[in-house]
Amino acid sequence: MTTDTRGDELDAVRSRIDAIDQEILALISERARCAQTVAHIKTESDGRAVQFYRPEREVSVLRRIKDANPGPLEGEEVARLFREIMSACLALERPLNAAFLGPEGTFTQAAAIKHFGHSVVTKAMATIDEIFREVEAGACDFGVVPVENSTEGVVSHTLDLFMSSPLRITGEVSLRIHHHLMSKETELGAIRTIYSHQQSLAQCRGWLDRYLPHAERIPVGSNADAARIVAGEPGAAAVAGFQASEIYGLEVLAERIEDEPGNTTRFLVIGKQDSPPSGQDKTSLLLSCRNKSGGLHALLLPLAAHGISMTRIESRPSRRGIWDYVFFIDIMGHRQDLPLAAALEHLEKDALLFKVLGSYPVAVL
């Protein structure tokens, strides 16, 4: 009797879910038709300069959804669902493609999908230089490059490429990184060689020293490359993400072996397009000042004077002179925002080198 009643209850709730799904489907389809109309309007009004992808609009949709979320699903979770709906709607307007640091299964690919959603067409590149070139040549709409890791610090090669590239930063992505040890072998004792990207080897140094102190560590171009090599080499293991173990058919011998549990990598989205203000933005700058004591301090005074907060500063040799350094600086705000625009005007006058790499929305996901 009780079982029957529960069975009836279950059937009733499932019927309700079926009916809701029909409504959701009808609404998603209506939304997709709206996106097609938007595409039509954009094409008619902007002609060849049309920009289907509008990052500032996407983040405002996601922020609104998060703010309005009544629960019980987490804000992050509903934002992720809407991220995918918008990704599919945009693909209907025009499919977007993004170059990433390949091969298939890297964290950079995961970052591209987190940022653009699963409808983006991702294109694997062998090096970070190639990603820049691909986007500069117009063969890809956007590129996704790693820039900073919370354990190992800055990916200096990416910063160096910005010095000579005309590309802009149009977005940022933060990705929680979990590293796993994977192999064709089934026992830790059989591992003699470990392959991974040098940053990942460094991020797992403590664990590797403890559990595999005698295995040789070989740095390769990417974690996914490591997984591919290991798939054909007895006695070898790779440090990589889950996706790589699935793609290359490897067994995960140990999970989450990174030394820092909060290990996060920040990626930048690069492209030719400027992002208009979204209300919550960041601006990245490239600056250089005269090499005299207090030079950097003096250079940065306009930021303080206009109440602009700086979230990151990184220095790199400029390669033009032995004592000549350039600074990569992230500040809060959009370059079109009034206090920031005034501070930038000031900075530009005082700096030897001044380049705005881009203003872009603070990531929602």
> Is residue 53 near ligand PRE by the rule CB under 6 A?
yes
Is 117 or 143 the residue whose CB approaches ligand PRE more closely?
117
One residue of 59, 62, 79, 89 binding ligand PRE per CB under 6 A: 89
Binding pattern to ligand PRE, positions 16-45, x when CB under 6 A? -------------------x--x-------
By CB under 6 A, name the one of 93, 141, 225, 330 that touches ligand PRE: 93
Q: How many CA atoms lie within 13 A of 259 on its CB side?
A: 17
Neighbours of 210 (CB within 10 A): 9
Assign 333 to helix, strand or coil. coil
Q: What is the nearest approach in angstroms of ligand PRE to the Cβ of residue 300?
A: 34
What single string gives the DSSP state of each residue in 108-154?
HHHHHHHHH-TTSEEEEESSHHHHHHHHHTTSSSEEEEEEEETTTEE
Q: Between β-strands 97-101 and 310-317, what pairing exists: parallel, antiparallel or unpaired?
A: unpaired
The nearer residue to ligand PRE, 52 or 248, going by C-beta atoms, is: 52
Decide whether 86 or 208 has the Cβ nearer to ligand PRE.
86
Query: Contact with ligand PRE (CB under 6 A): which of 59, 79, 86, 144?
Result: 86
Q: How many residues are present in the chain?
A: 365
Half-sphere exposure in the Cβ direction for 14 (13 Å, CA): 6
What letter represents residue 42's amino acid?
K
* Residues 109, 102: Cα–Cα separation, whole Å: 7
- Answer for which of 50, 61, 215, 353 binds ligand PRE (CB under 6 A) is 61
Q: 89 or 135: whose CB is closer to ligand PRE?
A: 89
Measured from the CB atom, the residue of 35 and 177 that comes closer to ligand PRE is 35
Q: Which residues bind ligand PRE (CB under 6 A)?
A: 35, 38, 52-54, 57-58, 61, 86, 89-90, 93
